[in-house]
Structure 1
Amino acid sequence: MNAEYKKCIEATYRCLEACNVCYHACLKEDHMMMKCIELNRECAEMTTLALQYMQRSSTFVVPILALCAEICEACGKECKAHDYQHCQDCAEACFTCSEECRKLSA
């Protein structure tokens, strides 16, 4: 693993996992949470891509991390608006991931 990206990779894995858990849980809630579900999927997909770029130290990692930070921030804001614990956990993971991605893309 590229040591330069270690902390960001760890935060990104946690975010990916939290988004997948939240996505699955939101599908089972009493009411549909389409925006949350949509952002969970987009964030999970983006974090997967960011992980791959960091793991191979791609020359395009900076713009990928910048976009990842933006998507994680949007997902975190949406999840934060819901009272479910899985949404709160996801918001926290998204905000941490966004912060770590911003550090490396600045």
Structure 2
Amino acid sequence: MDRREALQGVVALTAVAAAANASAQQEQHHHHHGGGKYAALMETAGDCVKTGETCLTHCHDSLATGDKSLGQCAKRVSELMAACSALRSLAAQNSRFVPQYARLTMQVCDACEKECRKHASKHESCNACAESCAACSKECKALTT
């Protein structure tokens, strides 16, 4: 096989891959309609899980060095991640339990935010987690009032 044949093969494969990708995007767009009525809640709950993972890792690293000052923060973040993961899943399903579960998750977010704010000036991961908690709590409150 010479270079010309190899290049033609690469071009052909690229064209096939691009066509398949375009087809998949159209199909995906057809079946999904922006996350449903709980799209914003899914986003904020997902952000809480993401920032919570970073914060929890930081807490664990600090605890591993003997610094126990982030122990309560680690507990609140663990609760947050569990609550927000479940809320996000229920929201994705448009579950009838979302409003009730959002009330509980709002309390978990508020408790985590309160604990993370104690460390926010020293630890960026705590600050980011606190901000995500505040946003999710606000979104939960909008559903429950």
TM-score bracket relative to the smaller structure: over 0.9
Q: Which residue of 2 aligns with 1:37?
A: 74
Q: Is the aligned partner of 1:87 residue 2:126?
A: yes
- Say whether the 8 Å CA contact 2:102–2:144 is kept in structure 1: yes
- Say whether the 8 Å CA contact 2:37–2:94 is kept in structure 1: no
Cα deviation for residue 3 of structure 1 reads 2.7
Q: Which residue of 2 aligns with 1:55?
A: 92
Separation in 2, partners of 1:13, 1:46: 11
- Say whether the 8 Å CA contact 1:2–1:57 is kept in structure 2: no
Separation in 2, partners of 1:77, 1:11: 17
Displaced runs of 4+ in structure 1, greater than 6 A? none
Residue ranges of structure 1 left out of the alignment (5+ in a row): none
Q: Flag the structure with more relative contact order, 1 or 2, with Cα contacts below 8 A and sequence separation at least 6.
A: 1
Separation in 1, partners of 2:106, 2:35: 19
Q: Which residue of 2 aligns with 1:16?
A: 49
TM-score in terms of structure 1 length = 0.94
TM-score in terms of structure 2 length = 0.70
Cα deviation for residue 10 of structure 1 reads 0.7
Mark the structure with the bigger radius of gyration. Answer: 2
Cα deviation for residue 68 of structure 1 reads 0.6
Count of residue pairs the alignment pairs up: 106
Q: In angstroms, what is the RMSD of aligned CA positions?
A: 1.2
Cα deviation for residue 27 of structure 1 reads 1.0
Separation in 1, partners of 2:58, 2:144: 31
Separation in 2, partners of 1:7, 1:58: 15
Q: Is the aligned partner of 1:100 residue 2:101?
A: no
Separation in 2, partners of 1:73, 1:89: 14
Q: Which residue of 1 aligns with 2:115?
A: 78
Separation in 2, partners of 1:34, 1:63: 29
Q: Which residue of 2 aligns with 1:6?
A: 39
The percentage of counterpart residues that share the same residue type is: 26
- Say whether the 8 Å CA contact 1:69–1:101 is kept in structure 2: yes
Residue ranges of structure 2 left out of the alignment (5+ in a row): 1-33
